[in-house]
């Protein structure tokens, strides 16, 4: 009898666990920004002509220039102290297999003072050497960490050893409903 109760208890736990559904994130797109680095008047010093497509401009990170061009904007007051998801998309390229330390940074400032610094690692998205790879990742910024009204999103090489190029940078900001 004890064995039957144990089997029924285990079956009940397994059944209940299999019926559990994780809550679905309900997100609403509130802002999006995109930059292709073609406007050379805006991105002085941050871009180069693509060495494989001379009509295209890209931003390049090297050992002597570890920061790349990006998107800078003020977060609307209506989004301060809200739970947000930042989704970053871009085309990335590197010619080395030993790349490490590359990331996209989400830098939150308040009146010139750094409030938060988030990094999304790019290295795992280099699938093809010296070819364009698609990058997409996101980060949740909880309302208790969302105090910076000036946002800067840009590429960064922590190692300062390799080179990386990126283009068609897109940022989507979604709010949790």
DSSP category for residue 22: P
Whether residue 84 is contained in a domain is answered as yes
Whether residue 28 is contained in a domain is answered as yes
Which residue range forms the structural domain that includes residue 156?
A: 24-176
CATH number at residue 64: 2.60.120.1310
Residue 132 near residue 56, CB atoms below 8 Å: no
**Total-model pTM:** 0.76
Residue 137 near residue 44, CB atoms below 8 Å: no
Residue 120 near residue 78, CB atoms below 8 Å: no
Whether residue 13 is contained in a domain is answered as no
pLDDT digits (tens, 9 = 90+) for 78-117: 888 889 999 999 998 887 655 678 899 999 888 888 888 9
Whether residue 135 is contained in a domain is answered as yes
In the chain, how many domains are there?
A: 1
pLDDT digits (tens, 9 = 90+) for 132-161: 889 999 999 888 777 777 898 998 888 777
Whether residue 29 is contained in a domain is answered as yes
Whether residue 47 is contained in a domain is answered as yes
């Amino acid at each position: 009898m004890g064995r039957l109760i144990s089997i029924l208890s285990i079956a009940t736990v397994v059944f209940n666990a299999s019926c559990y559904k994780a809550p679905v994130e309900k997100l609403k797109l509130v802002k999006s920004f995109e930059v292709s680095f073609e406007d050379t008047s805006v991105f002085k010093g941050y871009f180069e002509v693509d060495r494989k497509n001379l009509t295209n401009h890209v931003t390049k990170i090297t050992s002597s220039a570890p920061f790349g061009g990006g998107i800078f904007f003020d977060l609307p007051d209506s989004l301060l102290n809200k739970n947000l998801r930042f989704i970053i998309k871009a085309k990335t390229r590197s010619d080395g297999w030993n790349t490490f330390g590359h990331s996209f940074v989400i830098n939150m400032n308040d009146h010139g003072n750094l409030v938060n610094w988030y990094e999304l690692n790019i290295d795992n998205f280099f699938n093809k050497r010296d070819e364009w790879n698609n990058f997409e990742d996101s980060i949740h910024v909880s309302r208790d960490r969302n105090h910076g009204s000036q946002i800067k999103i840009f590429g960064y090489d922590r190692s300062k050893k390799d080179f990386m190029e990126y283009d068609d940078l897109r940022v989507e900001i979604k709010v949790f409903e």
